[in-house]
A and B are shown apart, each in its own frame.
Chain A
Amino acid sequence: MLNYDSIRHVKGESIFLDDFGAPAGTLHGAVFSSPEAHGKIISLDTSEAEKHPGVKAVITAKNIPGENQIGGIIQDEKLFADTEVEFIGEPVALVIADNLLTARKAAKKIKIEIEPLEVITDPKTAFEKGSLIIKQPRVYSCGSTGEAWKNCDFIFEGTAETGGQEHLYLETQSTLAMPLEGGSIKIISSTQNPTAIQRTAARVLAVSDNAIESEAMRLGGGFGGKEDQATAWAVMAALGCRITGKPVKIVLNRQEDMRLTGKRHPYVSDYKIGLLKEGKIISYEVVFYQNAGAAADLSPAILDRTLAHCTGSYFIPNVKAEGYSCKTNLPPNTAFRGFGGPQGMFVLEAAIFNAAEKMKIEPRVIQEINLLNEGDAFPYGQKTEFCKARECWNEAKLKFGFDSVKRKTDEFNEANILFKKGFAVMPVCFGISFTNTMLNQASSLVHVYADGSVSVSTGAVEMGQGVNMKLRQVAAATFGISVDKVKSEFTNTTRNANTSATAASSGADMNGNATKLACGEILSRLKNHFRRAAKLSESDPVEIENGYVISCGKKTNVTWERLTASAYRNRIDLSAHGFYATPKIYFDPRTNKGSPFAYHVYGTAVITITLDCLRGTYEIDSVKAVHDFGKSINPVIDRSQAEGAVMQGIGWLTLEEVVHNEKGRLISDTLSAYKVPDIGFTPKKIEFLFLENNDRNAGVFNSKAIGEPPFMYGIAAYFALVNAVKAANRNSDVKISAPMTPEKAFMNIYGEKK
C-alpha cells in the first residue's frame, strides 16, 4: 500500500499554507522582536513605523483585549513583551501592512530602548543562580542508590552534554487569520496543535473558544517545532485580524524562523554509575540540567520524558534521576522528536561508554547484560509487557554480526593510518503515549455520503508522517471498502473539538482507534439496515468485503455504494463520532509512579563510520537496525519514517550545531551556518529489518508508533565517532559533548589537552 498523498507531492500539487489563495485584501504581518537577550524596556517608539506608507497597524501588548499570555503548561510567556525582554527574538510588536515587504521594512523603523540585565545562556549557571522554570526538582527513583553503591565493584562519574537542534521543517511557521461574522475568527495555520491556537487566541482576544475556528492544513514538516511554537504567530494574526477587520497572514522567513523559535533542549548532565564486575549495572544516579530558554513552553513535560527514559533500554534496580528545568535567556526551547528521551538516553550511554573503557571491556558487553527482560520495572513503576529488547538485540547480533563488525573495524584501523573506522551499538526502548495522561484522547468524525464516499475528520495533522493515509486505511479496512473511497480531512476545531497535539508519535494510534470506533458504529447501522431490507434475523452474519455485502457467508451483488444510498433513503444516520481514550494508562505526578505508556517500542541499531584523521571530517558507512514495527499497516510509510528519524538523530549528534554567542545571539541563524544531513551525507547503506509481530498493543491494528523511536539510534553515531577518534589518537581524552562536529573530532585528535 502506497501513500496516496505522495502523488500530489511529487507533482507539486499539495497545498501548504503559503500556497493557499488568501482572500483579496489580505494584509501581511511582520514581527518586530527584541534585539537584546535580557533587559527592561525603557521605551518603545512605533511612530515611524506607523507613518510608513502602506502600514495599516502596529500592534503591541497594549492593544491586547484579553490576556497577554500564551503559556501552555505554565503561564509565563507573553505574546508581546511589555516591560521586560528575556531573549533575542522575543516578539515586541507586529507590523501589519499591504504587503510583506512593506511590513518588514516598517518593522525596522521601530525603536526600542532596553536597559540591559544579566544574560544567562548556560543551564548550570542558571541553576547555580537559582534561575529555574520550576523551583522544585523533578525526581524519578526506584530502589535505593544509597544502599546500592556499597555493593558495586566499580563506580564511575562523569558529565555529558548534548546540544540543541534546529527543527528545520522546510516550510517555515505560517498562518492566516480571517474575520468571520459576529466577531468570530477563522485561523488556518501550519500547526501540530490547532486546539492550542484556538484556546490561546480566545484567551488573548477575550472571546470564548467557540468564536475561534482553528484549522491546520498539511504541514511542510513539524518534528515538534509546530506543537507549541506555531501558536504565537497564529494568535498574532488573529489579533491583527481583530484590530484591522481584514485577513492577516504571517509567514516567517527562514532567518526569522531560526532566530525567533525555540529548538531541542540542550542538556548538561552529571551521572554516577555503579556496576558489578561482569558489567551488571546496579545503581545509577543522574542530574539533568535542561536548558529551557526563557519560558516554560513544553519544557516540564519534556523533562519528564527525559527522566522516564533515563534508563534507556536497560533494567537498573536502583535509580535516582533528578531534573531541573533551567531558565536562560534563549528562545524557549520546545518539543522535538524524542521529546527529551534522546537527551536522557544519551547520558546513560555516555556512562556505559565511560565504564566500559575503564573496565577494559566493550560497551556492548555492558549493554547486553543489562537489557530489559519481560516484566522488568522502569523507574516509574511500569513493567515491560511483550518486551522486545533482547529479541531485537539478538536478531541484530545475528543478522549484522557485531563480532565481525568489530573484527573488520580493527583490521581496517590496523591497516590504515589516514582513516579510522568506529562503530557502536544502540538499543532503544521508547514509551508511547503523552506522558501527561490527560492528553491521551482523540476523536474522529466520520461521514459516509450517500454515494458511498467517506470523509474522516480527526485531530491528526498531516506533516509528512503519513497519518492521512493510515487513517484512510483504517476506515477502509473497517468498512471493507477501497481506500480510494476515503478522504482524510484537515483538522478543524469546529469538526473536532478538544483535540490533542499531533505529537508523541501517537497520531495514528489514537486517531486511528477513534476512527475505527466511529466507522464501526456506522458499519453496524449499515449491516442492520441490510438485514432489515433482506429480511434477515439480527443474528445472521453480514459483512462487507472489497466493497460488496457478504450475507451469511455468500457474496451478494449489493455494492457498498448501493447499500449507502439505500441507507440514506431509509433515513439511517451515516455519520458517527468516535472517541478514544488510551486505556489503562495512569500516572501520579506526585510520586512519579504509574503506568504512563500504552506500550513500548524496541529496537537495536549498529552504526559504522569512517573518520578522515587528517581533516577531522567523517562519513557514515552504514546504519543497520532491527526495529520493532509491530504489525505495520504501511511499510512504505514506516520505513521512510524510520530512516528519516535515524538520519535526524545522526544529524543532531554530528553536524547540527546550534551556536549562540555570550550575548545570547544565535549565530548559526542561516542554512549556510547550520548544516543538516544532505544527500551527500547519506550513509552508504541503511538497512532496517522489520521485527514484525502481532502482539496485542494499543496501536491501531497492532501496528506500532514509528515517528520518534528510531531517532535515538543516532546516538550510536556519536560513540562510533568517539571510538574512531580514539583509534586516531590513543591518548585523546574525549570530552563527551555532542554534537561531534568535524571541528570537535579534529580538536580531539590534535588539540592541546585542557
Chain B
Amino acid sequence: MNVHLKFIYNNEYVETDNNPSVTVLDFLRLQKHLTGTKEGCREGDCGACTILVGEMTGNFIRYKSVNSCLLPVSEIHGRHVVSIEGLNVKGMSPFQEALVNEGGTQCGFCTPGFVVSFASFLLSTDSFDTETALSFLGGNLCRCTGHNRIISAVEKTLSNLKGGAAASFSERVGLLVKKNYLPAYFAGIPERLMSIQREHKIFEGAENAVFVSGGTDLFVQQGDSLTEKNVVFLSGVLKGEKIWIEGDELFLSAAATVSDLGNSEIINKIFPAFKDLSKLFGSLQIRNRATLGGNINNASPIGDMSVFLLSLNTKVFLSNGKTIRSLYLKDYFKDYKTLDRNEDEYTQKFSVPLPRGVYKLSFEKVSKRTYLDIASVNTSLYIEYDSVITKAGLSAGGVAPVPLFLKESSGFLIGKEISSSTLGGLVEVALGEIKPISDVRGSAEYKALLLGRLLRAHFLKLFPEVIKPEDVLC
C-alpha cells in the first residue's frame, strides 16, 4: 500500500507515491540514482549511509544525522533530506579539503558518511571543539585510515572555524554558506519546508499490524519483509510532548528518542548523569532515531534503556487505540523476547516516580568496544538515602533471558548504610539472582564476575568518600 509523500531532498522538492517501508537508502540509490550514500552493513553499525534529516522546529530547522539504511521513507514526509550530493559546494568544503590534505580518506567508501556527519556537527553543535566534533563522527567507521588522519582533518578544520557556533539558525547557515561549508540553497529551505504540511494519523486499531517506532532494530531484523507488511508508524500516532512532569511523576513518550532524553532540560535536571551515559547507547545516528518504546519492546536482554528504566521503578502504558492499561516495566518482560503485550497494543508512554530527598544514579556498561557496541553486561543503580538507604532499584542486562530487575538485591539495600560491607553483601545477593549464559558477548562466568565488579563500580563512583579503590579490587 503506497502512501503519498512530500519532502525536499537536497535542493529538490518531491511528491511521490511510495511504499512507506522502503528505506531512504534504497530510495536515494535505486529510485533517485544518487550513489554517494553507501550501503556498508544495513544495521546502523558503519555509518556509510549517513544522511541528514531536517525538521522544522519553530521557525528553524533541526538537522540530525541518521542511518538511511534503517530509515523508512515515510519518516521523511515533510522533512528536508540531505545526502552527500546535497552538501557538495563548488570545489571542496574546508572539511573535504582537510580530509584530502591530511590523508583522511583511502578507499573512499566510508568518506561521504563522515562528511555528512561532520555537516550535522556544524549545523547543530553549540561549540566548535574537537571533542564535540568527534562525538558526531562516532557512528562512522573507516577500515582504511584507522581514523587518526580523519581526526587530524577535523582539528585542521576547526582551527579555521574560530569564533564558535552562531546563535540563530539563519546566522549559522549564513556563516557556513559564506565559509563554503554548505551550498547556498540551505538558507531557503525553512521557507520551502514550512509550506509542506505534515499530517498525523490517529490510530484506531489494526489487524496484524507491525508497529514501527524508530525502526533502528526492526529494520535490521526484518528490513527485507517490512515492505510487504501492514506497518503502523508510531511517529504518526504518538504526537505531542516527549518528556513532561505531571504530579510527582516524570512521563516519557514511547516516541522519545535517546537523543530527546539526552537533550532534555528536564532529564538533565533530574538525572544530570544521563547525557554522558547516553553516549554509550548506540551511535549518534541511532540515538537520533531509536525510541524508548522501540528499545523496550525489542525486549533485548541487554537493552540499555530497558536496564536504565528498570532501576527507576518505571511503569509502561499500553494502548490498543481504545483502552489504555499500565503495568510495572519489571513485570512487562516475561521471558526471552516475550512481553506482557497483546498483538494489537503499542506502548504509549512510561512514567517514572520523581526522586525524593537525596538520590543517586549510576549506569555501567561494559562492551568489547566502548562506543557503538552492545553490552556484555550493563547495570543501573538508583538509590535514595539519608542515613541509610531508603529506596533502591538495581537492574542488569546480559545476565538473564530478560533485562533483569534485581528484586532481592534492591530489597537487600533498604535500610542499609553505605559501606563496603553493604557492597559485599549486595554482590553476594545479586550473584544469586542472575542466570547468565555464554554467547558471543562473553562466557557466563565472565558475565557473572563482571556484574560483581560493576556493582562495586557503582558504589565507588557514587560514594567515593566511603568506598575506596582498595574495596572494589579485592
Contacts and interface: CB of A to CB of B under 8 A. Distances in A.
A10 B94 CA distance: 11
Interface residues of A, number: 82
Contact of B109 (A170, A613, A671, A747): A170
A465 B108 CA distance: 11
A662 to B, nearest CB: 12
A170 B371 contact: no
B144 interface: yes
Interface in A1-31: 2-3, 5-16, 18-19, 21
Given A8-B108, A464-B108, A646-B146, 9 more contacts: A6-B103, A18-B39, A168-B143, A170-B107, A171-B40, A677-B146, A679-B371, A680-B369, A681-B371
Contact of B103 (A3, A668, A751, A752): A3
Contact of A671 (B45, B106, B224): B45
20 contacts: A10-B97, A11-B112, A12-B115, A16-B38, A101-B224, A105-B224, A170-B109, A172-B40, A221-B143, A254-B42, A466-B106, A636-B102, A657-B368, A667-B440, A670-B43, A672-B43, A675-B373, A678-B141, A678-B371, A681-B147
The list of the 4 closest CB pairs from A to B, nearest first, reads: A12-B36, A647-B146, A9-B108, A464-B107
A12 B100 contact: no
A168 B143 CA distance: 7
Nearest to B84: A12
Interface string A692-715: 000000000000000000000000
Contacts of A679: 134, 137-138, 140, 142, 147, 150-151, 371
A533 interface: no
B427 interface: no
Given A12-B115, A615-B453, A615-B454, A5 B33 contact: no
A369 interface: no
A678 B372 contact: yes
Interface string A199-210: 000000000000
Contacts of A221: 106-107, 109, 143-144
A531 interface: no
Interface residues of B, number: 81
B374 interface: yes
Q: Which of B102, B103, B370, B371 has the most CB of A within 10 A?
A: B103
Contacts of B100: 2-3, 6-7, 10
Contacts of B37: 12
Interface string B450-474: 1001101100100000000110110
Nearest to B217: A672
A746 interface: yes
A359 interface: no
Given A170-B110, A743-B376, A671 B41 contact: yes
Contacts of B46: 170, 671
A746 B368 CA distance: 11
Task: Label chain A's interface by main secondary structure.
Answer: loop
Contact of B108 (A14, A647, A672): A14
A253 B220 CA distance: 12
A646 B364 CA distance: 30
Given A5-B108, A614-B457, A672-B45, A640 B36 contact: no
Contacts of A683: 148
Interface of B: 33, 35-43, 45-46, 48, 83-85, 88, 92, 96-97, 99-112, 115, 134, 137-138, 140-151, 220, 224, 364, 366-374, 376, 439-443, 445-446, 449-450, 453-454, 456-457, 460, 469-470, 472-473
A655 interface: yes
A477 interface: no
A552 B117 CA distance: 56
A683 B151 CA distance: 11
Given A614-B473, A678-B372, A682-B151, A170 B141 contact: yes
A116 to B, nearest CB: 23
Contact of B36 (A7, A13, A465, A614): A13
Contacts of B48: 170
Contacts of A169: 107, 109, 143
A410 B391 CA distance: 43
B441 to A, nearest CB: 8
Interface in A451-470: 463-466
Contacts of A253: 39, 42
Contact of B138 (A223, A418, A678): A678
Interface string A410-447: 00000001100000000000000000000000000000
A673 interface: yes
A616 interface: yes
A460 to B, nearest CB: 14
A750 B453 contact: yes
A6 B41 contact: no
B457 A746 contact: no
A643 B145 CA distance: 6
Contacts of A184: none
Q: Which of B88, B115, B473 has the most CB of A within 10 A?
A: B473
B440 A659 contact: yes
B96 A617 contact: no
B146 A6 contact: no
A170 B150 contact: no
A614 B453 contact: yes
A480 interface: no
B112 A12 contact: yes
Contacts of B112: 9-12
B107 A10 contact: no
Nearest to B116: A12
